[in-house]
Structure 1
């Protein structure tokens, strides 16, 4: 393809979803492998947490320093470069001879495995306004699937061929995908002229001045996706590994597959935005989040109930994520990459707080305290929605 006008098709949306899923999945390959990796290097298992931290720090820096360039540079070239660098970093992880080298390799991999966060706003750019929500939902579902699949698959692969094989296979998959992207994706004209990289970064932090509704959008996502979702899933590991379940890592991984329901429903959730139903739908998903946390408080000793709760919560969280991100992209045609940077960093910060809260609350009062806190946070999110829906409705009436 060499045409300058690019039309978003279902094929391109699915391709974007797969590419984004692979990119985000690179962040999670290591999580089930930490004990095996540490044993291989002859180090205490507790040190494995540093590998996750190194990856997350690299990813946060990459989001902040690289993703905003999507508003100014040729995006096919930018996506191809970061994906090729991801392949190199993954190979470096597989061949790392020491813990220090592996930490640096994972940091580098986190830094450049941000193609999904460049692709998502690109999908918003290429979509027609009346179908943007649907397209964003498809790509977002790919990201959700990538997170869940990487956690599940890495444990199985490592059990057969060892942890290094996980990164070699990931490198091969990413290489295949970048070759497809280079062949299929045409050259897409840049949106703006980059005058100063310093001014570009500064403009990321001034988006709040240009968009009054941005704080409310970020708060909805941060409270539910960042806090409730992470509190629930982190604490669920503690719950399932203890009495009365006493599940091993593989069994816990199977339970986590309940989250795949979110990916399936995410394909159609964006249509609610396209039909003008985003405001009531957002409130509905927040109410569902609140109800599932109450149910989690009551039915904590039933694995069937836990799986159903996990599946329904994942759908609600996916709905909130798709609707808030689509609304975010509708704020501006010229700065979607910068807005996405703010969105992802916001979720990253709330997610870090959510993980820390999960451990803290579990140490204080176990699952009871965790569910009480998650229910309270969902209630706060509902109050935020009640007070912000009028401003959202006004913007919808103006057609953005």
Structure 2
């Protein structure tokens, strides 16, 4: 049994802040695109590529690089990816060419996938019976990084200009790299049988793994729906709040975003409950919280105190629900096969990340094409579909166990 020490807790802290710092790079540029595009003479037609290609890079990294940690030592891959990100940040900082800047953001997105190699290392550090709690702490760091990136980049840009956001990320990742080099153990690959596997065979094995692993299929589908709702929510909610008759300022919207981060801090608590065997119940709770969070926005009608309270509760609920369900899914898939843990995580993350990309697109498209009510209706449908499918799967599983019991 792994004994927990102060050193262990410090290592978990390093994993948490590393994950948050890496993933934040995907989202820093989203709210400040117009400033970057103007400075680098990037046309409005191509400015959207700044965020799109960063996300594409991250998705490619999840599928093609994260699984490599089943073949090679994780610390080496993580170090290379962070080094690549730091180098790319230097390039973006010095860049005066829009095309070069856009290409470098793709590499930054690829480097951010190192966060998903760090998360499974939690299971090498803590006892199996407490994985929910400690994976929850690491995931809290990752989710806080996602949620704080946008308001932080707005604040830094307003005060010091957009290039200072790049400098901030560069300094942060230098510190992260030094901490990882100094403190992260150089863990061996879980199984020596993986070492003789070629990279093409690794990718082929992932496709077979997805086809033959129902728990992975289910958890990936659930979270693709919830992350689509999450992306739709945070894409549309700021636009909705700025419009009539709400008229919230950018500072007010940023403050609401910071307050909503409190939801992600409850992820370890959900992990503790999951460690006691209540994964199915907490999955239902997570899905219902996401559903409720979007329904609450339907009752926001003005700039009153009641509306502000509803928005804050809504933001906290969606962060609790999405972060909780993400953790529950990882707890399930990490328990399937340690030898394939990084492949399982790569597939899980890739699938739900595609769901998030769909949510961002459908949110902005329906908002401008139709109205906010249509967008919010789609937003409520996504977690509702996940909840219904989860209940059906649970009922089917219980019936199957009952039949098996009587047949035996």
Does the pair score TM above 0.5? Answer: yes
After TM superposition, give the deviation of residue 120 of structure 1 in Å. Answer: 0.8
Q: State the Cα distance separating 1:151 from its structure 2 match.
A: 1.4
CA distance 1:394–1:13, change in 2 (3 Å): farther
Kept in 2, the 8 Å contact 1:286–1:316? The answer is: yes
Cα distance change, pair 393–267 in 1 and its aligned pair in 2 (3 A): farther
Alignment partners' CA distance in 2, 1:23 and 1:364: 34
Aligned mates of 2:320, 2:399 — CA distance in 1: 27
Aligned-residue offset at 1:6: 11
Cα deviations by residue, 1:172-194 (Å, 9 ceiling, x for unpaired): 11011111110111221112314
Q: Which structure 1 segments of 5+ residues have no match?
A: none
CA displacement 1:265-304 (0-9 Å, x = unmatched): 1122111211101111111221222233322223343232
1:59–1:113: 8 Å Cα contact kept in structure 2?
Answer: yes
1:39–1:45 contact (8 Å) kept in structure 2: no
Change (3 A) 1:165 1:283: same
Distance change (3 Å), C-alpha of 1:143 and 1:395: farther
Distance 2:38 2:239 in 1: 22
Contact 1:297–1:367 (CA under 8 A) maintained in structure 2: no
Structure 1 runs (4+) greater than 6 angstroms displaced: 5-8, 391-396
**Can you list the C-alpha shifts for 1:337-382, whole angstroms capped at 9, x where unaligned?**
1111111111121111111211232134422112222222222111
User: What is the match of residue 282 of structure 2?
Assistant: 281
Matched, 1:369 2:374: yes
Alpha carbons 2:267, 2:327 under 8 Å: kept: yes
Greater shift, 41-50 or 381-390, is seen at 41-50
Kindly state the Cα deviation for residue 57 of structure 1 after the two structures are TM-superposed.
Answer: 1.6
Partner of 1:346: 351
> 1:243-262 to 2 correspondence within 5 Å?
243-262=244-263
Q: 1:392 to 1:271 in 2, by over 3 A?
A: farther
Task: Give, in whole Å, the separation in 1 of the partners of 2:44 and 2:93.
Answer: 19
For 2:388, the equivalent position in structure 1 comes to 383
CA 281–83 in structure 1, closer or farther in 2 if over 3 Å, else same:
same
Q: Please give the TM-score of this superposition, normalised by the length of structure 1.
A: 0.92
Task: For 2:390 and 2:62, locate their aligned partners in 1 and report how far apart those are by CA, in whole Å.
Answer: 27
Note if 1:331 corresponds to 2:336.
yes
1:270 is matched with 271
The answer as to whether partners of 1:223 and 1:381 remain within 8 angstroms in 2 is yes
Counterpart residue number, 1:50: 49
2:339 counterpart SS class: coil
Q: CA deviation at 1:73?
A: 0.6
Deviations 1:171-226 (A, max 9, x none): 1110111111101112211123142110011111111234222211111111112x
Indicate if the aligned counterparts of 2:210 and 2:347 stay in contact, CA closer than 8 A: no
How many residues are paired up? 391
Unaligned 5+ runs, structure 2:
402-408
| In 2, Cα distance between equivalents of 1:300 and 1:119 | 43
Alignment of 1:113-192 (within 5 A): 113-191=112-190, 192=194
Q: Distance in 1 between matches of 2:120 and 2:398?
A: 23
CA contact (8 A) 2:81 2:114 kept: yes
- 1:193 maps to which residue? 195
Q: Does 1:203 align with 2:205?
A: yes
* Native 8 Å contact 1:133 1:271 kept in 2: yes
Residues 279 and 393 in structure 1, CA contact (< 8 A), matched pair in contact too: no
Q: Distance in 2 between matches of 1:142 and 1:391?
A: 35
TM-score normalised by structure 2 residue count: 0.90
1:11 maps to what in 2? Answer: 10
SS in 2 for 1:334: helix
8 A contact 1:17–1:142 mirrored in 2:
yes
